[in-house]
Every structure is written in structure tokens, then in C-alpha cells.
Amino acid sequence: MTNLLPKMAEIWQQTLNWQPTAQQQAQFQRLYELILEGNRQLNLTRITDPQEFWEKHLWDSLRGIAPQGQFIPSLQEAASVIDIGTGAGFPGVLVAITAPNCKITLMDSTRKKITFIDNILTELALINAKTLVGRAEEIGQQPQHRQAYDIALIRAVGTASVCAEYALPLLKRSGLAIIYRGNWTEEETTVLQNTVNQLGGVIELIEKFTTPLSDSIRHCLYLRKVANTPANFPRAVGVPSQKPL
């Protein structure tokens, strides 16, 4: 197999002020191979070209945890992080590879995907990550997970309002939710403002950027938890998406 990921050292340096070590590059490569393999059984991703995979999965995952192009400092310490709806491991596995001091929980409602991730964690020797099968609506009401995380990541799981309802209950006070989006409008900000208020959060930053190879538009929404989330959130399974706040 000659599916070799590009290194892109200069782009990493210019965009994130960082470069992967040889070990991290080897982990990226192994992750890519395992996903291509897993794709034969599971519907993991339609992005399989090496350059596109690098840009839309690797780079995109890490750009979210580097607002304004700098990694969030608490990731270098022992921050507890949860990736809600991790799927094939994005953005969570990338965070586990690049921030070895943080503790990350990779959560998904699909057991088959979590079994796949368990194998990835073993193959890449990622001892700072663990998996969790469940729905965000239920996990967010469990005492061992509610208000337990410093950072919640969520990419391509639902509308921003749904993502906010999944993420904010899981955060400690002063924790940060990072919602990955493609396009985003001012009107959406107005609607989200109201949702986030109800959940005990504020919109701290909305960042627009373009991806470095294909110039695709992206947004990341950074929500800060400033008050406890009322006990009725997240609502029962299916309600957040059926009756968005």
C-alpha cells in the first residue's frame, strides 16, 4: 500500500506554530491506514485521498483546539477532554496524539465505531485516551460525567444548538465547548446566543478561517460555561434534535 500522508511541516508551522514529532507523524500515518482498512467494513469517512485526509481530518481537527493559531494552554497540562460523537476519532484521536498530558474520553453512540476506536488506541499506544459508548443526552445526566470536563469537542454531530445542549452539561464551570462548523452566519449567532444562555454558557469567540490546501471555509464556535446548566438539560434522547432550543 502506498498511501503515504504528506508531512506539511511548513503549513503546520505557519498555521499552528507547531510541528509533529517523528512519532506523531508515524501515529498519523498508522491512523490513516487503519481508517482506510476500517472503511471496508464500517462507513467511517468518504475522505480517503492522502492530501484531503491530511487537510480535512488531521489539520481541521487540530485547528479547532488552536483558536487564533495557538494551542489552548491547558491541553499541555492535565486537562480532561471529551469528544462527543467521535465517529472515526475526529477530532479526539488527534488531540490524544498531540496533547499527551491531557486525558481524553472518546464518546459515540455507535458501539461498532467505539470498538474500532478501541483498536486504534491499542495500535497507536494512546494511553491518555479511553472510550465511552452512549448518547450525549444520557451521558450528560450521569453524575460521573456531568460537570466533569474542562473541554468538550463536537464535530459534525448536529446543529449548533443541539451541540451546545450536548456539550455544556458535561463541562465544569469555566470549561470550554468547541463546536466545529463549515459555514456560519450572523443570524445563527443570534439564535445560538439565546440557546447558550439557557444552558449556562456564553459565546466567547466565533472564529472564521480557511483550510490551508483547498481554501474551504470553516468556523469554530467557542462557548464558555459561566453558570451551572439547569438540571433538565440535556433533555431526553432525541428531544434536543427534534425540538431545538
Residues 144-163 that bind ligand SAH (CB under 6 A): 155-157
Residue (88 or 164) nearer to ligand SAH, CB: 88
136 counts as binding ligand SAH under rule CB under 6 A: yes
Binding region for ligand SAH (CB under 6 A) out of 8-16, 80-88, 201-209, 223-231: 80-88
Cell readout for 67 is 483558536
- List Cα–Cα distances, 157 to 76, 79, 99, 154, 215, in angstroms: 26, 23, 23, 7, 23
Q: How far apart are CA 192 and CA 210, in angstroms?
A: 22
Residues 6+ apart with CB under 8 A from 193: 203
Regarding 85 and contact with ligand SAH (CB under 6 A), the answer is yes
Pick out residues in 91-110 that bind ligand SAH (CB under 6 A): 107-110
Q: Which of residues 156-215 bind ligand SAH (CB under 6 A)?
A: 156-157
The least distance separating ligand SAH from the CB of residue 10, rounded to whole angstroms, comes to 26
Which one, 19 or 222, has the nearer CB to ligand SAH? 222
Contact 12, 18 (CB under 8 A): yes
How far, in Å, are 32, 138, 156, 216 from residue 45 at the CA level? 11, 26, 12, 18
Any contact of residue 90 with ligand SAH (CB under 6 A)? yes
Quote the cell numbers at residue 71: 494551542
- Among 207, 205, 197, residue whose Cα is nearest residue 227: 197
CA dist 131 and 110 (Å) reads: 11
Question: Which span (17-25, 65-73, 117-125, 132-140) binds ligand SAH, by CB under 6 A?
Answer: 132-140
Shortest distance (Å) from residue 11 CB to ligand SAH: 20
Q: Residue 38 interacts with ligand SAH (CB under 6 A)? A: no
For residue 91, whether the previous peptide bond is cis, meaning omega lies within 30 degrees of 0, is: yes
Q: Which three cell numbers stand for residue 167?
A: 456539550
User: Which residue, 2 or 244, has its beta carbon nearer to ligand SAH?
Assistant: 244
Question: Cβ of residue 22: shortest distance to ligand SAH, in angstroms?
Answer: 26
Contacting residues toward ligand SAH, per CB under 6 A:
84-88, 90, 107-110, 113, 135-137, 155-157
